[in-house]
């Protein structure tokens, strides 16, 4: 068993999701090689040794300063072919979702995408992936050589299992590529993506109008930069919130530690997108709303009274 864990960086700094990929690779019980494409040394890359990387290889090319889909796919696929890996693991992040299918196709195999469990059973890689937006779980045996999988963010909690983490830098020669990332327009400072945040506070029609989302934003701020504000399909379709914030079957599937649904009745396609959250809180004035069926804790009441009170209490905690 030899695993290739594909790490991610942005602007030369390791992305934390990399810890999750190494943690999952390490769990398979063999050696773990971590690999990352970058223009030069990656700040923090050596940290993955703590989570079980035997070796950490940086593949460098000047074209890797920003994400280079074609160059990275070629470099990773060549590494995967040469190294004799049993399994190649990606994050099912924005970049991983773009990169993993390209690499899999170059290797002539399919991709088990967005897995929430992986294991070795009878010598084969077995993975579980939510389908129908989490309304069912599909268990698959991946017999492709190598097995190529991507892992859902926030599921594989990083666990420290220190290894030697020998580092190596290899300059690779890849063409500039036809698909070029020209720039990255940053979202508002400090804005977290709903798919990666530890705490998600989502609002629905109960908010009544777009400006009222500020009560949720204030609550998010009270959590000190760990919380993102999400939205139901109804309010995204109404143009109140960005598509990027939509949680549900035609939006994002999220698994935060804490999900707070505010003024959301709980349509089946919304529940599908957030039911794997560790703890769910619902705040709704309708005590019969379906959201209370999946919520661990419910508060029945006017959100414009309940949410500010919650913000106040959270501020006290973090005060």
Partner 1 sequence: MNIAVCIKRVPDSETRVKIASDGKSLDEAGVKFVLNPYDEFAVEEALQRKEKAGSGEVAVFCVGPAAAQETIRTALAMGADRGVLLQSDRIPADGYITAQALAAELKAGSWDLILFGKMAIDDYNQQVGPMVAELLGLPCVTAAAHLEIDGPKGVAEREIEGGVEVVEFPLPAVLTADKGLNEPRYPALKGIMAAKKKPLEVKPVQLGAGGIEVLALTPPPQRKEGKIVGEGPGAVPELVRLLREEAKVL
Site for partner 1 in 242-271 (CB under 8 A): 242-244, 246, 249-251, 257-258, 267-269
Task: Identify the DSSP state of 42.
Answer: P
CB of 44 to partner 1, least distance (A): 16
3-class state of residue 266 by DSSP: coil
From 191, 212, 217, 290, residue interacting with partner 1 (rule: CB under 8 A): 191
202 neighbors 262 (Cβ within 8 angstroms): yes
Separation between Cα atoms, residue 264 and residue 286, nearest integer Å:
10
Between 130 and 204, CB nearer to partner 1: 130
CA atoms within 13 A on the CB side of 41: 5
Considering only the stretches 22-30, 47-55, 167-175, 304-312, report the one whose residues sit in contact with partner 1 under the rule CB under 8 A: 304-312
In the range 198-237, which residues lie near partner 1 by CB under 8 A? Answer: 236
In the range 5-64, which residues lie near partner 1 by CB under 8 A? Answer: none
From 11, 62, 139, 162, residue interacting with partner 1 (rule: CB under 8 A): 139
69 binds partner 1 (CB under 8 A): yes
Q: Which x/- pattern, by CB under 8 A, does the window 89-118 give for partner 1?
A: ----xxx-xx-xxx-xxx-xxxxxxx----
CA atoms within 13 A on the CB side of 314: 18
Between 59 and 149, CB nearer to partner 1: 149
From 88, 192, 207, 247, residue interacting with partner 1 (rule: CB under 8 A): 192
Give burial (CB, 10 Å; 0-12/13-18/19+) of 27. middle
Between 83 and 301, CB nearer to partner 1: 301
Q: Which x/- pattern, by CB under 8 A, does the window 148-187 give for partner 1?
A: ------------------------------xxxxxxxxxx
122 binds partner 1 (CB under 8 A): no
Residues 6 or more apart from 37 whose CB is under 8 A from it?
Answer: 9, 58, 59, 60, 61, 64, 68, 71, 72, 75, 76
Between 162 and 308, CB nearer to partner 1: 308
For residue 148, give the H/E element and its range. Answer: strand 147-151
3-class state of residue 133 by DSSP: helix
From 1, 39, 120, 126, residue interacting with partner 1 (rule: CB under 8 A): 126
Size of the site for partner 1 (CB under 8 A): 96
Q: Residue 17 is encoded by which pair of tokens? A: 């999701």
From 81, 141, 208, 214, residue interacting with partner 1 (rule: CB under 8 A): 141
Separation between Cα atoms, residue 286 and residue 295, nearest integer Å:
14
294 binds partner 1 (CB under 8 A): yes
Between 98 and 217, CB nearer to partner 1: 98
Between 165 and 298, CB nearer to partner 1: 298
From 82, 123, 211, 287, residue interacting with partner 1 (rule: CB under 8 A): 287
Residues facing 117 on adjacent strands: 128
Query: Taking the CA atoms of the chain, what radius of gyration do you get in angstroms?
Result: 21
Separation between Cα atoms, residue 233 and residue 250, nearest integer Å:
8
CB of 54 to partner 1, least distance (A): 26
Strands 297-300 and 279-284: parallel
Q: Residue 62 is encoded by which pair of tokens? A: 């000047």
Between 45 and 258, CB nearer to partner 1: 258
Task: Identify the DSSP state of 225.
Answer: S
């Amino acid at each position: 068993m030899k695993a290739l864990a594909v790490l991610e960086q942005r602007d030369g700094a390791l992305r934390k999701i990399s810890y999750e990929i190494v943690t999952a690779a390490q769990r398979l019980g063999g050696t773990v090689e971590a690999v990352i494409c970058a223009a030069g040394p990656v700040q923090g890359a050596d940290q993955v040794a703590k989570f079980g990387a035997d070796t950490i290889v940086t593949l460098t090319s000047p074209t890797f300063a920003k994400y280079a889909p074609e160059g990275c796919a070629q470099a990773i696929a060549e590494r995967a072919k040469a190294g004799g890996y049993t399994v190649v693991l990606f994050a099912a992040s924005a970049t991983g979702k773009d990169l993993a299918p390209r690499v899999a196709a170059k290797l002539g195999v399919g991709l088990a995408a967005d897995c929430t469990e992986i294991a070795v059973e009878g010598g084969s890689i077995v993975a579980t992936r939510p389908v129908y937006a989490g309304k069912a779980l599909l268990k698959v045996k991946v017999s492709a050589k190598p097995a190529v999988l991507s892992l859902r963010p926030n599921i594989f909690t990083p666990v420290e299992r220190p290894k030697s983490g020998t580092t190596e830098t290899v300059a690779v020669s890849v063409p500039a590529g036809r698909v070029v990332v020209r720039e990255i327009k940053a979202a508002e400072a400090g804005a977290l993506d709903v798919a990666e945040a530890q705490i998600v506070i989502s609002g629905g029609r109960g908010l009544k109008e777009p400006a009222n989302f500020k009560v949720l934003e204030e609550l998010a701020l009270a959590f000190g930069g760990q919380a993102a504000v999400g939205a139901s399909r109804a309010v995204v379709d109404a143009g109140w919130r960005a598509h990027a914030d939509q949680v549900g079957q035609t939006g994002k599937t999220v698994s935060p530690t804490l999900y707070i649904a505010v003024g959301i009745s709980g349509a089946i396609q919304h529940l599908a997108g957030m039911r794997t959250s560790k703890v769910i809180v619902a705040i709704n004035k309708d005590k019969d709303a379906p959201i209370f069926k999946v919520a661990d804790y419910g508060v029945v009441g006017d959100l414009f009274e309940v949410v500010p009170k919650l913000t106040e209490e959270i501020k006290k905690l973090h005060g």
